[in-house]
Chains A and B, each alone.
Chain A
């Protein structure tokens, strides 16, 4: 539930600085960030300078600097430096002291002076907001402890989120507290005050006023915020000859062009998978990436819930170059080079009798599919769906439109609306336009609001150099990045959790974002910066956003409407109306080569295909400094801390390279070195490279890791092209994948799977080759559970392996980041991992995902080997892990057949960096060195719910407790609850015939069980 919006919210944020529940004793001379800020806030201009310098002299400040800017803030670092050694020595001795005979250190309590109403110390509050990303947004509920946002959950009331959440939103909390975020304004690297900036920029603006803004250029990323859009429009009205450009490196370039191609106008496409029985995905990872994926995943999996008699399943065909989570779910998946996907699309469209201008695709490996797939689609007119991947060529999008039209899906499974973007321009053209002006030298003032064009603009533009041609360059961004480096002014931007704003989801649903905390550093939002420019008296984002909505609101009592909208996290009826759109006849004939990516006939002559994709973890590079995302094992590849040139086994063999080799990849004269990673199921003759790495100014975590694929990404081939040349250039690159490729060993009962047809014939099919030992088969007396018995069931048919649960778990349970080296040593700390198993032909294997939390075994091998009872059986069937009792023999981990226990081989948790302390969940102990840790079904949540229930003398309701992984799961694959209650959802799932225990033959009797992975293949197609 979300507490009512609290008008004192900003207050709350500021309060928190004072309110430290258990502040350590502090020397009077010690400073803290708020202190410094307060000191500096008072002063401006030169005076500001002096005070800063004076300050800089004091030891306290030096000391603060050391605390605030530690090396490798969020990553554990093992230097053998003497200082570090002494530090560790001290730490360990202190540790020794604390745990032996020593008294508690004196602690202070600093209560509020005026306690905000509704705030109950010790009880978290939840506020609705949203995280904008590209042309979409994720509606969120953010958990706040005494004004510290610690964890985000999906907002159940938000139609595009439905309570689920993706990795980016989960990890954004760490982004907020990232110590590397820029902490002050700077003019050419020297700290300045907002006052100074105001002076400087207003002068420039007055000049522009004179020339009607002829020299003013504004560059933003894709803008969906109605308020910001409105501000920009006003701005352009005030400065008629100023220009607004947009560049979103991983934006909706193709779908936009595709829509213009098919309909002659920008149209937003959204899908409704509830009614789709047959789905063909043309390289579209619609279940785990891109706007709306959360909603689509929910709808898709809802059509695949096989329960008892309910055996209906939709069917998914997928062609794609690189295996994606969606690909692992496909009933039929075929690895096709990205270019061949278009050929397949042409052929399929032709077979469906869609308008292709009489054109047919070149033959591909997928030809054998065309007839049966077309038949399958036609048998489900109006209940089928063709989805084009965002990264496919505009032609493929247009083809998808006309196929859906031919199949009568429009208005049923596929809906067309007006675009979500405030100004859906062709961003490439927009950027070219800007560059033209830069060359002409007509740009006096270039204002870059967010984004990092110097890093991610198409390479042929040479944007880094051209940028310098603007007379005055201002860059607003979260951290001082490659672009800030080249700009005169760098302005620290406030994080989305620090500011008021608004944004729209893929279907237009709008959220008014509210801040969870006052800006940690002197950050301001784009809204505020724009008002500064227009010389209006300074207004806060709060006023700006509220005023805008006041103008939008028609009905009476705006205040009540506003409060409700903010509270709900959804602005009522802002969802875009579906509108009719029919492809122009003869669009295909008019098609120019430029809009299709591949020249089919000669394609093979032109060497390998290069496929650019946003990185699953760091996206377009904006999350590169986020330790959680870096360490997060990417779906399928299980890679961490790197990007790679991803080959199919066959192509790698042809090129004579193996994983961890270094290759020099050359394309259109651009060269770079990349490590090789071999991915079974990848298309032959094609190499996938992920964007977002090789950054030169990202921060301590993200700088200079991986290679920068933007370095060969041109505007004419944003996503794929032929003509890649590969040459072995070295070997033994440290490429860390937490799991090697391993074929599914059916002798070991890890993954149970079946085709739906088999299941319909014999529901017990998965238990045929399988005998689990009788429960009584143990020397020790069993346990009795008269009250609750917690259990979990994971539906492998639903799980897409998107990995959101892993990051959610990390955020909820204060799990440390250990860094590439340690991950390489097998010391990553994730309590929950997603195993992937491969079955069948290595060129085109079926891939199975299996999330593995602690199994909470009934006969737990870990419990009886721990010499000090640090892990023991709770009265409700959990294998409790008591960190403060653990002495670290690691015997429990050795004896755990599932290897879900994690050990603090060093002091991994950051006990020093204050910002990171703010992020921690106060209900979970921060583990120290030498201690074993593991999943406990989020026992802190269980206890909270139990206590609340007991206070009301009732039992915990089913669904009242959501574990972190369950809460965030887009497909509701993970269900947790009380298995003593036969009516609970989890009990229901465990009663299913497809329910089985991992390695059940060991008689560990796991509490976490799985529902077998079922597929619904088309009998007409082999394999």
Chain B
């Protein structure tokens, strides 16, 4: 009786069978990559802001200290986005007529906040505290990157749990002297690990087991 299939069907079937294995592997890989991609994490994505505020200008050029605006970074869980008043301290004097800054003046007149777009946005079930990191020698730069090189703000790191844990599991790789916390472009010494261990002892930084206990970040 007549053949149903051309004998090339054998080849096809083989290909599909073996191919399936690779296809599955490939799909998994796709998901894994997407999950870590910039699209997912918004890493490196420059966000639209009501005012094109430039950290390059304020930090690098004018050399304003982080804490001048982010006042509560050493005392509170949030670093505090400065109130309009802070902007006006200077901008009532300089650039006081710049059209670019109209929204600031408008806000100051009307008393309605400037609505900034949140750039570093952790999920609401993560309780991050700036003050403890800053006080234990974690530099702004370590998480936020070279802000002084960012004309418009973007998120340097993935901010995924894995990334947090990398540091919480072995802080010695990242801690720096308290004096250097707010410096941009800090060069870690050759013996970072050794110094790290020294600083951990000196700053009484908790052991990895405590730092990786769930309640350290989740409540």
Contact = CB atoms under 8 A, between A and B. Distances in A.
Interface stretch (A649-657, A936-944, A973-981, A984-992): A936-944
A319 interface: no
B92 interface: no
Interface stretch (A688-696, A757-765, A872-880): A872-880
A882 B118 contact: no
Interface stretch (A268-276, A515-523, A720-728, A946-954): A946-954
Contacts, number: 145
Contacts of B210: 787, 874-876
A109 B81 contact: yes
Given A101-B31, A884-B218, A950 B136 contact: yes
B93 interface: no
B117 interface: yes
A929 to B, nearest CB: 14
Given A108-B117, A108-B118, A787-B206, A940 B72 contact: no
A779 interface: no
A21 B83 contact: no
A925 B125 contact: yes
A110 B111 CA distance: 12
Interface in B92-112: 107-108, 111-112
A953 B113 CA distance: 37
Contact of B116 (A111, A114, A123): A111
A120 B72 CA distance: 7
A602 B39 CA distance: 86
Contact of A101 (B34, B131, B219): B34
A43 to B, nearest CB: 19
A936 B218 CA distance: 11
Contacts of B116: 108-111
B113 A114 contact: no
Given A22-B118, A884-B123, A925-B124, A115 B34 contact: no
A112 B69 CA distance: 13
A839 interface: no
Nearest to A936: B215
B219 A121 contact: no
Interface in A96-144: 101-104, 106-115, 120-123
Contact of A875 (B34, B78, B213, B218): B213
B218 A951 contact: no
Given A101-B34, A936-B219, A106 B117 contact: yes
B40 interface: yes
A188 interface: no
Nearest to B47: A106
B127 A923 contact: yes
Contacts of A106: 47, 117-118
B216 interface: yes
Nearest to A951: B135
Given A111-B114, A884-B218, A122 B72 contact: yes
Given A18-B112, A936-B219, A950-B132, A872 B42 contact: no
A880 B125 contact: no
Counting contact residues on chain B (CB < 8 A from A), the size range is 35 or more
A942 B214 CA distance: 13
A173 B209 CA distance: 38
A524 interface: no
B81 A883 contact: no
Contacts of B125: 883-884, 925
Given A103-B41, A953-B204, A114 B118 contact: no
A885 B41 CA distance: 19
A107 B123 CA distance: 11
A951 B214 CA distance: 21
Contacts of B132: 947, 950-951
Contact of A121 (B34, B80, B203, B206): B80
A114 B72 contact: no
A589 interface: no
B213 A874 contact: yes
A942 to B, nearest CB: 8
A882 B218 CA distance: 6
Contacts of B218: 880, 882-885, 925
Given A101-B40, A875-B209, A953-B204, A111 B82 contact: yes
A933 to B, nearest CB: 11
B157 to A, nearest CB: 14
A786 B80 CA distance: 35
A113 B121 contact: no
A872 B213 CA distance: 8
B113 A110 contact: yes
A885 B217 CA distance: 12
A123 B75 contact: yes
A955 B128 CA distance: 21
Interface string B113-155: 1111110010111010101100110000000000000000000
A111 B219 contact: no
Nearest to A788: B210
Nearest to A928: B125
B166 interface: no
Residue among A872, A875, A880 with the highest chain B CB neighbour number at 10 A: A875
B152 to A, nearest CB: 15
Contacts of A198: none
A104 B85 CA distance: 30
Contact of B215 (A103, A110, A874, A951): A874
A103 B39 contact: yes
Contacts of A113: 83-85, 107-108, 111-113
Contacts of A923: 127, 219
A950 B204 contact: yes
Nearest to A883: B125
A907 to B, nearest CB: 16
A19 interface: yes
B81 A880 contact: no
A108 B117 CA distance: 5
Most B C-beta atoms less than 10 A away, residue of A872, A940, A951:
A951
Given A22-B124, A880-B218, A114 B39 contact: no
A924 B219 contact: yes
A19 B214 contact: no
A878 B115 contact: no
A19 B113 contact: yes
Interface in B180-219: 203-204, 206-207, 209-210, 213-216, 218-219
Interface string A783-825: 0001100000000000000000000000000000000000000
Nearest to B77: A122
Interface in B31-45: 31, 34-35, 39-42
Nearest to B34: A101
A107 B121 contact: yes
A110 B76 contact: no
Contact of A110 (B115, B123, B124): B115
Contact of B219 (A107, A109, A875, A939): A939
User: Which of B34, B76, B83 has the most chain A CB atoms closer than 10 A to its own CB?
Assistant: B83
A115 B82 CA distance: 9
Nearest to B131: A951
Contacts of A885: 214, 218
Interface in A721-762: none
A923 B121 CA distance: 16
The 8 lowest CB-CB distance pairs between A and B, nearest first, are A110-B113, A880-B214, A122-B76, A874-B213, A112-B83, A875-B210, A122-B78, A115-B83
9 contacts: A102-B40, A103-B41, A106-B47, A111-B81, A111-B83, A936-B215, A940-B219, A943-B215, A951-B75
Given A103-B39, A103-B40, A923-B219, 20 more contacts: A21-B78, A101-B40, A109-B117, A111-B113, A113-B83, A114-B85, A120-B76, A122-B78, A123-B72, A872-B214, A874-B213, A875-B210, A878-B213, A878-B215, A880-B215, A925-B125, A925-B219, A939-B215, A940-B127, A951-B132
Interface of B: 31, 34-35, 39-42, 47, 72, 75-78, 80-85, 107-108, 111-118, 121, 123-125, 127, 129, 131-132, 135-136, 203-204, 206-207, 209-210, 213-216, 218-219
